[in-house]
């Protein structure tokens, strides 16, 4: 016997039960996106490799994290499987920036790829919901767009059954953090280093932190700032700065303290009371975020963030487009599914169910075949059993297990009745049963399906 092949490590086979869960997740993402006025887009699964060097500043480090390959023939090029959707989005927007109606409200549900070794919650192939909103001429409009995208993420998680007890949106604003860096004396060009350090802070031991401070020549004040951040200090509170002996000016009060209050006031009436929390430790790793940044994570357990996003006002320019403010987020299927399972929020049967299950207890199959064709021509989802049994009771159990709304029963007694052939129709929710003359069966089925399920 030949070998049985395995799927590549870090990828998944979607047998029917897993596929039903995947469809349920994707369909929910899509449905809620449309509900908020976003329209769907997509791009190729692979792009020219150089596209992925733009955000990293042209470096080759990113290449080691990509699956990449060459095309053959005259147009020999290096391609890479997309690790995320944002570069494709930026390329597409840059190409048509002037003809697209503003604001651009796009979502996509691409499969994405990482060349790294798989680990729990991080596979080599995953599916990611991407939402982006581009445009906004004023500060107020841009803030509104930040809120619209975050509200979409929360509304979708509410659709999955999560409440404020299950999940938390933690937010920050990079312009606040830049103020903090300024106060401890970092020059502009060291902000990227300081953001990167802040992003990794929670993962470093106190010894590793000291090593970083020494290697990068941090001042005493800068070290105290990071130590207080590591302890969970909140630099929006003016008392945070007392220990650093740094006096707070009006500019700080206006931009940071008032800014945080303004955002809290705007975020609260989004319709999601209790879901939001200011968190000064959130900065998001990626260098391209410019303002509002946020993450959503489960409130219990050790799960990774389910979703993350923020404002990235410079990105479209980096890809050759016009200056176009933008905000958005991504949500992956792997971590979401883990959380849905851990919190028992997956529906027992998330897949589509048939309208009708045909039970054939006659000796021949001609009528059954003909009726199935007739039902499907009437656009009904009609299934049947392929078992040899004519045991109607057992087949009714199969019909219920398949989640069918109705059972259409071809039984010898009714079929051979004087006065013409009859068939039986059973409503599997109400257990109600009726005998219908064969020529009237389609009308009877359509009427039964039009009724609300619990009549």
The residues in 304-343 that bind a copy of itself, with binding defined as CB under 8 A, are: 317-321
User: What count of Cα atoms within 13 Å lies in the side-chain half-sphere of residue 105?
Assistant: 16
CB 259 to a copy of itself: min, Å: 20
- What does the alpha-carbon distance between residue 135 and residue 129 come to, in Å, rounded to a whole number? 20
CB 338 to a copy of itself: min, Å: 19
Interface with a copy of itself (CB under 8 A), residue from 373, 413, 446, 447: 373
Question: Which residue from 400, 379, 350, 362 is spatially nearest to 449, judged by alpha carbons?
Answer: 379
The total of other beta-carbon atoms located within 10 Å of residue 76's CB is 8
Instruction: Return the sign of the alpha-carbon dihedral for residues 254, 256, 257, 258.
Output: positive
Backbone angles phi, psi at 228, to 5 degrees: -65, -40
Whole-angstrom Cα Rg for the chain: 29
| Residue that has been written with the tokens 């994290």 in this structure | 65
CB 237 to a copy of itself: min, Å: 30
- What does the alpha-carbon distance between residue 191 and residue 160 come to, in Å, rounded to a whole number? 38
Question: Which residue from 434, 444, 420 is spatially nearest to 371, judged by alpha carbons?
Answer: 444
74 binds a copy of itself (CB under 8 A): yes
- What does the alpha-carbon distance between residue 378 and residue 367 come to, in Å, rounded to a whole number? 16
149 binds a copy of itself (CB under 8 A): no
Please identify, using beta-carbon distances, which residue of 140 and 251 lies nearer to a copy of itself: 140
- 100 token code pair: 């697209």
Interface with a copy of itself (CB under 8 A), residue from 380, 410, 423, 445: 380
Instruction: Label the pairing between strands 382-384 and 326-332.
Output: unpaired
Per CB under 8 A, which region of 1-9, 176-184, 221-229, 243-251 contacts a copy of itself? 1-9
- 414 token code pair: 């009714």
Please identify, using beta-carbon distances, which residue of 95 and 243 lies nearer to a copy of itself: 95
Per CB under 8 A, which region of 101-109, 173-181, 213-221, 338-346 contacts a copy of itself? 101-109
Which 258-277 positions form the footprint of a copy of itself (CB under 8 A)? 269-271
- What does the alpha-carbon distance between residue 258 and residue 263 come to, in Å, rounded to a whole number? 9
Question: Which residue from 76, 80, 100 is spatially nearest to 90, judged by alpha carbons?
Answer: 100
User: How many chain residues are in contact with a copy of itself, going by CB under 8 A?
Assistant: 92
Please identify, using beta-carbon distances, which residue of 47 and 295 lies nearer to a copy of itself: 47
Task: Give the contact letters, 30-69, x = binds to a copy of itself (CB under 8 A), - = no.
Answer: ----xxxx-xxxxxxxxxx-xx--x---------x--xxx
* Total length of the chain: 455
Please identify, using beta-carbon distances, which residue of 154 and 336 lies nearer to a copy of itself: 154
- What does the alpha-carbon distance between residue 438 and residue 410 come to, in Å, rounded to a whole number? 10
Interface with a copy of itself (CB under 8 A), residue from 61, 85, 86, 103: 103
Please identify, using beta-carbon distances, which residue of 44 and 232 lies nearer to a copy of itself: 44
Which 180-219 positions form the footprint of a copy of itself (CB under 8 A)? none
CB 281 to a copy of itself: min, Å: 29
286 binds a copy of itself (CB under 8 A): no
94 binds a copy of itself (CB under 8 A): yes
Task: Give the contact letters, 151-180, x = binds to a copy of itself (CB under 8 A), - = no.
Answer: x---x---x---------------------
Instruction: Label the pairing between strands 167-173 and 125-134.
Output: unpaired
């Amino acid at each position: 016997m030949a070998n049985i092949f395995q799927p590549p490590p870090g990828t998944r086979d979607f047998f029917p039960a897993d596929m039903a869960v995947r469809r349920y997740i994707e369909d929910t993402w899509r449905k809620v996106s449309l509900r908020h006025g976003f329209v769907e887009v997509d791009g190729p699964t692979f792009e020219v490799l150089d596209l992925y060097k733009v955000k990293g500043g042209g470096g080759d480090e990113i290449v080691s994290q990509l699956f990449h390959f060459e095309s053959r023939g005259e147009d020999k090029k290096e391609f890479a499987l997309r690790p995320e959707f944002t570069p494709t989005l930026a390329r597409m927007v840059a190409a048509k920036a002037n003809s697209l109606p503003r604001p651009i409200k796009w979502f996509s549900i691409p499969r994405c790829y990482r060349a790294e070794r798989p680990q729990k919650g991080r596979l080599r192939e995953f599916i990611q919901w991407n939402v982006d909103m581009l445009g906004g001429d004023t500060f107020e409009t841009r803030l509104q767009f930040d809120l619209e995208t975050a509200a979409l993420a929360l509304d979708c998680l509410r659709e999955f059954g999560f409440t404020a007890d299950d999940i938390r949106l933690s937010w920050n604003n990079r312009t606040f953090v830049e103020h903090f860096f300024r106060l401890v004396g970092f020059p502009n060009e060291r902000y990227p280093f300081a953001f990167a350090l802040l992003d990794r802070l929670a993962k470093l031991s106190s010894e590793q932190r000291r090593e970083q401070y020494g290697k990068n020549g941090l001042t005493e004040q800068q070290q105290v700032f990071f130590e207080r951040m590591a302890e969970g200090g909140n630099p929006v509170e003016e008392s945070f700065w007392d220990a650093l002996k740094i006096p707070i000016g009006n500019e700080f009060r206006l931009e940071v303290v008032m800014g945080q209050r303004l955002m809290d006031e705007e975020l609260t009436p989004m319709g999601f009371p209790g879901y939001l929390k200011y968190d000064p430790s959130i900065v998001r790793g990626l260098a391209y975020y410019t303002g509002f940044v946020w993450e959503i994570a489960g409130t219990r357990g050790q799960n990774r963030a389910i979703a993350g996003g923020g404002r990235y006002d410079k990105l479209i320019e980096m890809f050759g487009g016009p200056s176009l403010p933008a905000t958005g987020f991504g949500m992956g299927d792997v971590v979401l599914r883990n959380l849905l399972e851990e919190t028992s929020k997956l529906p027992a049967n998330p897949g589509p169910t048939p309208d009708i299950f045909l039970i054939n207890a006659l000796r021949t199959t001609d009528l059954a075949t003909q009726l199935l064709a007739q039902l499907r021509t009437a656009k009904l989802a009609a299934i049947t059993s392929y078992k040899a049994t004519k045991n109607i009771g057992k087949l009714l159990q199969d019909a219920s297990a398949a989640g069918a709304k109705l059972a259409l029963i071809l039984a010898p007694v009714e079929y051979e009745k004087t006065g013409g052939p009859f068939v039986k129709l059973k409503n599997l929710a109400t257990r109600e049963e009726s005998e219908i003359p064969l020529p009237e069966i389609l009308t009877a089925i359509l009427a039964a399906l039009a009724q609300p399920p619990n009549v």
